[in-house]
């Protein structure tokens, strides 16, 4: 099934092809003939993606709602046909396969085949349907509070929650497998055992990774792949490189991070791939060893900047990688507590806006960590 980045890319391609036109609409297959007649010759008004759902609007007509499902395809191409004397009405472009809906302009043709859903809706009908679609990482940079709350209350495994389109829209099997591996999360971990910091990090990774899918047409998650694609895009090239995956469809092979054998099972009616060696539960942040690790990281980072200062978030991010938790924000209160203790011992200084703080009265607000 096409993941959300594909639908967003299709919306962009439709806009590029049909903006400013009044395309012919038809149903060569015959299953959408009456609906297509309502669209025929109407001014194109834009396409939008909402997770795996696509809407296409026309001035003076109901909107088209499309969900491709497992087998649907929507092609948008230049037909390179010379416009006949009769104009667009006389233009003929050969049809291949069972085309449910065709849009045809002087330069482009869009053919929809095999979609699970292709229907005309009023704005109110679409609005009612859209309320049942989850938050889309390609439309929102921050996770909605209600979405995070639902995840943190759930007994369902995080691997199933990521595939729930009424919760998070647009994420499919590849992103699920590779994202959870990147963050070292066991896909069987219940949502209620996650933390706010972990949920936030999951969302941030989706917001960071999925736009590459829109721009390149590839699901890219490997850091090396992302750097190569970014360089190609800066050169004005497509960035369509062959992706590298750690666990997706690599069952029975060694995990590139820890060497354990990648496993496959079924979750949320789809194949699930994960590594039992390095994808586990979350560490106990109340373990004294975590505080000792943080104290060591604070000392080391501060010592490395004799003429500068360190943001507590730098310590939290470094320690999160060391202890195997994606939720570095969960460490921030502990970093502040450890830093205060070190300042009281005289090992470091606490500063705010360049001014030294009294460890006995630091008040509220951000702090920096600096050498004595």
Paired residues of 278 in beta bridges: none
The catalytically annotated residue of 81, 218, 264, 270 is 270
Among residues 24, 52, 318, 329, the one annotated as catalytic is 52
C-alpha–C-alpha distance, residues 302 and 311, integer Å: 10
Question: How far is the C-alpha of 55 from the C-alpha of 61, rounded, in Å?
Answer: 13
Is 240 a residue of the active site? no
Selected catalytic residue, list 2, 28, 157, 243: 2
Contact criterion met (CB below 8 Å) for 43 and 22: yes
> Cα–Cα distance between 225 and 193 in angstroms, integer?
32
- Phi first, then psi: what are they for 363, rounded to 5°? 65, -165
Strand partners, 58: 44
Is position 270 annotated as part of the catalytic site? Answer: yes
List residues bridging with 66 in a β-sheet.
54, 118
Query: How many residues are listed for the chain in this entry?
Result: 372
Q: Which of 3, 178, 205, 349 is catalytic?
A: 3
End-to-end CA distance of the chain: 58
2 is catalytic: yes
Q: Are 64 and 119 in contact (CB under 8 A)?
A: yes
For the question of residue 52 being annotated catalytic, the response is yes
List the catalytic residues. 2-3, 52, 270
């Amino acid at each position: 099934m096409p993941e959300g980045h594909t639908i967003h890319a299709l919306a962009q391609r439709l806009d590029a092809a049909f903006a400013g036109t009044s395309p012919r609409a038809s149903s060569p297959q015959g299953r959408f003939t009456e609906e297509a007649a309502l669209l025929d010759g109407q001014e194109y008004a834009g396409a939008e993606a909402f997770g795996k759902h696509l809407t296409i609007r026309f001035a003076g007509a109901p909107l088209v709602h499309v969900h491709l499902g497992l087998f649907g395809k929507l092609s948008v191409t230049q037909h390179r046909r010379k416009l006949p004397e009769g104009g667009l009405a006389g233009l003929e472009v050969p049809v291949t396969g069972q085309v449910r809906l065709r849009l045809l302009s002087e330069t482009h043709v869009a053919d929809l085949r095999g979609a699970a859903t292709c229907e005309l809706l009023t704005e109110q009908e679409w609005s009612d349907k859209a309320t049942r679609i989850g938050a889309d990482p390609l439309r929102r940079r921050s996770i909605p509070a209600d979405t995070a709350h639902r995840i943190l209350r759930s007994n369902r495994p995080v691997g199933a929650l990521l595939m729930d389109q009424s919760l998070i829209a647009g994420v499919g099997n590849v992103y699920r497998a590779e994202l959870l591996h990147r963050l070292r999360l066991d896909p069987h971990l219940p949502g209620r055992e996650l933390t706010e910091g972990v949920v936030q990090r999951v969302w941030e990774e989706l917001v960071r990774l999925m736009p590459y899918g829109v721009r390149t047409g590839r699901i890219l998650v490997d850091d090396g792949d992302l750097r190569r694609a970014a360089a190609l895009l800066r050169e004005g090239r497509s960035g369509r490189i062959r992706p590298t995956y750690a666990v997706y469809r690599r069952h029975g092979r060694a995990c590139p991070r820890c060497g354990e054998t990648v496993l496959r099972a079924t979750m949320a009616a789809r194949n699930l791939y994960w590594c039992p060696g390095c994808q586990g539960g979350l560490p106990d942040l109340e373990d004294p060893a975590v505080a000792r690790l943080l104290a060591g990281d604070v000392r080391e980072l501060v010592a490395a900047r004799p003429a500068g200062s360190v943001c507590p978030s730098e310590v939290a991010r470094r320690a999160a990688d060391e202890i195997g938790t994606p939720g570095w924000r969960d460490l921030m209160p502990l970093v502040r507590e450890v830093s205060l203790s070190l300042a009281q011992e005289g090992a470091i200084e606490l500063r705010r806006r360049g001014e030294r703080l009294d460890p006995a009265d630091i008040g509220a607000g951000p702090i920096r960590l600096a050498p004595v």
